[in-house]
Amino acid sequence: MSLGLVIDERFKAHDTGAGHPECPARLEHAQAAIERGRDAAQFCRPPLRAASIDDIERIHTLEYVRRAETACSEGAPFLDTPDVALSAASFDTALLAAGAGLTLADAMMAGDFKRGFALVRPPGHHAERSAAMGFCLFNNVAILARYLQQAHGMEKIAIVDWDVHHGNGTQHSFESDPSVLYVSLHQYPYYPGTGAYSETGTGAGRGATLNCPMPAGATNTAYERVFAEQVLPALERFAADCLIISAGFDAHQDDPLADVRLTTPAYRWMTERLVECAEHHGGGRVISMLEGGYHLDRLAECVAEHLEALRDKAR
């Protein structure tokens, strides 16, 4: 079975300005690595559709959505915080980024493939219900999770976020909801300051958040241990209908924005373990969406390894 892939030149229209680490070159390098890979032509590439405002409202307030739209149309240099740089095209590009997950979900549920990857920008996991943060406008994976539940009738969704920065926005979207398991491995203490081990959810959602804070200098071995002792057992117990990956590649040892020491093969290893887990529950369905990763060559290598692991298991 083929692997679904969303790549689109329009993601490059989100202009963050000179020197910003979340830049169009990230996608250019990653896309080049994908196209060089074996059997690149055999990916299933469903036509990308933008998310609707109704789709975005599954997670964000309408007031926030309109505020983001106005900021872009009026030429504001950023939204809410200077690291969320804007251009005139940023709002429409963010709708496309959120729509990429929905595009993969629809094609997956139509039987075109059972696993997919979206190479998108801007990223999403820091975006809160009514605030932009950390390069993120709309929370792509959170919007996807709710879409799978509300449009496709799935009951339980698991999100694994291995970006080196904690996905505060995703956690807050679901922390009181027992139907979505949020698992995060991230450098701690570090930006954005959330993600302590003690943060396990609230109310009915208590226990459906698993934070695995990792110290600066953590290596492949440390991640493998946490996967074996915490992440995989939690996923097995939860038995999700679909697994979503917030696939940031900035925990790589060469990434300039953090201090975790993963090597490129670690991303293949983590992907393989998650695919194996997904095969036990929910028919092996996995949708992965790009988050961070700011060393251009390492990002390209890690994305290629990630896709190989997703695809090889699908054959």
d(CA 155, CA 2): 25
Count Cβ atoms below 10 Å from residue 34 Cβ, excluding itself: 18
Residue 116, strand partner residues: 4, 287
Q: State yes or no: is 14 an active-site residue.
A: no
Report the candidate in 150, 261, 280 with the shortest Cα–Cα distance to residue 215: 261
Omega within 30 of 0 (cis) for the link into 178: no
> What would the 3-class secondary structure string for the chain be?
CCCEEECCHHHHHCCCCCCCCCCHHHHHHHHHHHHHCCCHHHCECCCCCCCCHHHHCCCCCHHHHHHHHHHHHCCCCEECEEEEECCCCHHHHHHHHHHHHHHHHHHHHCCCCCEEEECCCCCCCCCECCECECCECCCHHHHHHHHHHHHHCCCCEEEEECCCCCCHHHHHHHCCCCCEEEEEEEECCCCCCCCCCCCCCCHHHCCCEEEEEECCCCCHHHHHHHHHHHHHHHHHHHCCCEEEEEECCCCECCCCCCCCCECHHHHHHHHHHHHHHHHHCHHHCEEEEECCCCCHHHHHHHHHHHHHHHHHCCC
Q: One of 14, 126, 166, 306 is an active-site residue; which one? A: 126
Bridge-based pairing state of the strands 4-6 and 115-118:
parallel
C-alpha to C-alpha distance for 143 and 57, rounded to whole angstroms: 8
Amino acid at 94: A
Residues serving a catalytic function are: 126
